[in-house]
Amino acid sequence: MALEGVNMSRASDFHVLIIGGGATGAALAHDLALRGFRVTLVERGEVTSGTTGRHHGLLHSGARYAVRDPESARECIEENFILRRIAPDSFELNDGLFVAITEEDEAYLEPFLEGCEACGIPTQVLTREQALQMEPNLNPKVRVAVRVPDGTMDAMRLPLRFLATALSNGAVVRPFTEVVDLLRRNGTVYGARVRNHITGREEDLLADVVVNAAGPWAGRIAAMAGVDVPVRPSPGVLVAVEGRWTNMVINRLHPAGDGDIIVPQRGLSIIGTTSWVVEDPDHLDVPPDHVRRMFEKGAEMVPAVGRARLWAAWSAARPLVGSREASTGRELSRTFKCFDHASEGVEGFVTIVGGKATTARAMAETTADVVCRKVGVSAPCRTREVTLLPHTAYYDLLTTQGF
Amino acid sequence: MRRKFRVFRYKPGWSRHRYETYMVDLPDTATVLEALIRIRRDQAPDLTLRHSCLHGSCGTCGMRINGRERLACLTPVAELPDPITVEPLYNLGVVSDLVVDVPAFYEKFTLIERPLLRRSEAPAQGRPPEGIPAFTRLESCIECGLCLSACPVVATDPYYLGPAALAAAWRLVEEPRGKDPAAILALVDDPHGCWRCHLAMECSEVCPTGVHPAQAIVSLRATLSASPKMLSQEENPTHA
C-alpha cells in the first residue's frame, strides 16, 4: 500500500489550459496552481468581461433557492461562509432581508423558513417595526421580514483576488487571447490554437488537459471538440439606480420572479432581474419593457428606488445547465455540472458550466478533482483555507508577466 | 439609429496610431460601450478594449470620448454629436487600441494601503441588526484612471502621486480604520505629493463616482498646515 504514493504522478508534470477568464476560470486557476499544476488561462477580452462582471454583486445566502432548488441553496450558504473567511475585506456584510409586502407573500413565510432550515441557512424573523428600524426606506406596508446572511461583493474584484493568488503561485493569465480552435488527434484534445488580439499572432498552446470554463460560450467551445454540452445562455436585465437606499440586500419573500431583489453597492442600488433564453450570448439586448418592470417591481419593496434616477441598464447571460426545451430559464437549477468528455469518447477535455459567482470556488474544486483523477494525481484541494491576495495584486503580478 | 465612430487604433510595433471609421446601427438607448462591443463583434474582431460590469462599478471602460474622460458604459450615444471619437486615456501609456497600461495606475495607487471597505453613510437613519456593529460599504473610488488622464500635472510630472492615490490617502485620514493617519500624511507631505497639485479641478470634474479628488487634496493640505503635532494624538484629525 505504501508504494502506491511513490507511483503517483506529480501535478507539476501536467499543464492545464483553462478557457475563460470569468469567476469559474479564475477560481480554477487558483485551485490548480495551489495543487501544483502548471496552469495557463486564456480569455478573449479583459478578464471578467463576459458574464462574471455583470452580475448584481450578491454574495448569496442561498435563501432564494431554499424552497425549489435546495441543492443550489446548500452550495450557496456553504460557499458564502468560506468566502467570508478566505476573502476578508471584499464584502459589504450587512446581511439581507426577505420582505413580505402582501398577504400572498406572507403565506410563503412558512415554506421559506422550512426550506432555509433544511438547507442550513440561518434566519431571524423580524416584525414590521424591527425591519423598518434597520431599513427606513422599506415599503411601510411590509408585513414581516426574514433576516438572512446575504452580502454584497464587487463582481470583478473578487475574481481578481483568485487570479492574483493564482499568478503568485505560478499560473499564467493571458487576457485578449481568443481560442480559435482546439487541437485534436485520435479523439484526444491536446491544446488550443489561440489568437493574441494585441499582437495579432496565432500560436498553439499544448496542454495535458483543456478545461472549458467559457460560461454561456461553453457550447461554442465544446462544439470545437465535437461534443455537445447542455448549456442554456439565459440573459437577465439588471438596472442600477442612483442612490444607496438600503444597506441590507432586499429580497421579495415569494417564489423567484422578476425584479425580486435590490442589492446596494457603493452609492448605487441594483435591481434584478428578468430571465429568458437565447441561442447566441454575443447578441444580448436590453428590452425597454424589462427596464420599466425592474423599476415597478423594485418600488414595491423600496418605493424610493422607483423614483430614483436611472444610472445604467444592462443584460448578462447566465450559463445555466438545462435542456433545449427551457423557455424562460427560471425552471433551470442554479447548480453546476462538470463534464468529463471521455465518456463521449473525447479525452483531455473537461467542461464546467452552471453555478453562480458565489459558488465559483466549489465549481473549481469539483473540476480540479476531475482533472486530478484524469491524470492520476493525488493532490488535495486547499482553497477552503488559503486567504486570497488583494485584487490590486493582480495588476502588480500581471506586469511581471509582460502584459 | 445609425452612428459614425472614429476609433483610435494602435498595436505594438506600429510606428504610430491611426483612426478607423465604423458605421454602427444601434438601439436608441445604446451606450458608447455597447457600440464598441458591436464594432468588435461585427467589424473589427482585433479591437481591444476593457469592460466588465456595464454599470460604472468596475472602472475598466474609462476612455476619452469626444475629447473628454468618460466611462463608456455610462455614456449614452444619443447625447453625442457625430462623429463620435473614441481614444484611450492619457498618461498611462497605450498597450493596444483602447487598452492602457493598467499596472501603471496601481503602481502609485497601492502605495496608499486603503482598505476597500468603509463605513456606510446612507441611508443615515438605518440601525444595523444585532451582530453588525456598523453598516459598511465598498469605497466609492472604482480605480478607473479618469482623474489621472484629465490631470495636467500628471501629464508633466512623472513622480506626482496623482489624484487617485491622494484621494485614497484622504479617505484614510478621514476614516483611519486601524491605520496611522500620521504616516499617510507624512507620505503625501512631499513636493510630488499633495503640494504638487495646481487645482485645475479636472479630476473632480471627470470622476464618475463623486470621489472629488481635488477636495481631498485641499483637505490634506489644510490638515498638514493646521497642527501637525496633534496628528499623532488625534484618532481623527478632521474633527480636531
**In the 3-class helix/strand/coil scheme, how is B80-115 assigned residue by residue?**
CCCCEEEECCCCCCEEECCEECHHHHHHHHCCCCCC
Task: Give the nearest partner residue to B55 out of A89, A152, A312, using CB atoms.
Answer: A312
In chain B, residues under CATH classification 1.10.1060.10 are 103-239
Q: What percentage of chain A has pLDDT greater than the value 70?
A: 95
Q: What is the pLDDT of residues B80-129, one digit of tens each?
A: 999 999 999 999 999 999 999 999 999 999 999 999 999 999 888 899 99
> What pLDDT, on the 0 to 100 scale, is given for residue A322?
81
Mean pLDDT of B68-73: 98
Mean pLDDT of A341-368: 96
Verify cis geometry, omega within 30 degrees of 0, for the bond prior to A281. no
> What pLDDT, on the 0 to 100 scale, is given for residue A334?
78
What is the pLDDT confidence band of residue A324, given thresholds at 50, 70 and 90? low
CB contact under 8 A, A176 and B48: yes
Mean pLDDT of A350-362: 96
Task: Give the nearest partner residue to A265 out of B57, B99, B103, using CB atoms.
Answer: B57
> A interface mutation test: which of B55, B63, B144, B175 has the most A CBs within 10 A?
B55
| Residue B45: Cβ within 10 Å count | 12
Q: What is the pLDDT of residues A251-304, one digit of tens each?
A: 999 998 899 999 999 999 999 999 999 989 999 999 999 999 999 999 999 999
CB contact under 8 A, B53 and A244: no
> B interface mutation test: which of A292, A395, A397, A401 has the most B CBs within 10 A?
A395
CB contact under 8 A, A398 and B103: yes
Chain A hits for B35, Cβ within 8 Å: none
Task: Give the nearest partner residue to B209 out of A53, A199, A266, using CB atoms.
Answer: A266
Residues 6 or more apart whose CB falls under 8 angstroms from that of B182 comprise B231, B232
> What pLDDT, on the 0 to 100 scale, is given for residue A94?
98
Q: What is the pLDDT of residues B181-236, one digit of tens each?
A: 999 999 999 999 999 999 999 999 999 999 999 999 999 999 999 965 555 444 44
CB contact under 8 A, A247 and B55: no
CB contact under 8 A, A403 and B116: no
In chain B, residues under CATH classification 3.10.20.30 are 2-99
Q: ipTM beyond 0.85?
A: yes
Task: Give the nearest partner residue to B135 out of A48, A53, A247, using CB atoms.
Answer: A247
CB contact under 8 A, B137 and A243: no
CA-nearest residue to A270 within chain B is B55
Mean pLDDT of A371-381: 96
CATH topology of domain B103-239: Fumarate Reductase Iron-sulfur Protein; Chain B, domain 2 (1.10.1060)
Q: Which class is domain B2-99?
A: alpha beta
In chain A, the domains with their CATH numbers are 12-57+154-230+322-403 (3.50.50.60), 94-150+231-321 (3.30.9.10)
Helix (H) or strand (E) holding A57: none
A128, burial (CB in 10 Å: exposed 0-12, middle 13-18, buried 19+): middle
Chain A hits for B53, Cβ within 8 Å: 53-54, 155-156
pLDDT at residue A391 tops 90: yes
What is the pLDDT confidence band of residue A1, given thresholds at 50, 70 and 90? very low
A327, burial (CB in 10 Å: exposed 0-12, middle 13-18, buried 19+): exposed
> What pLDDT, on the 0 to 100 scale, is given for residue A4?
53
A·B CB contacts under 8 A: 173
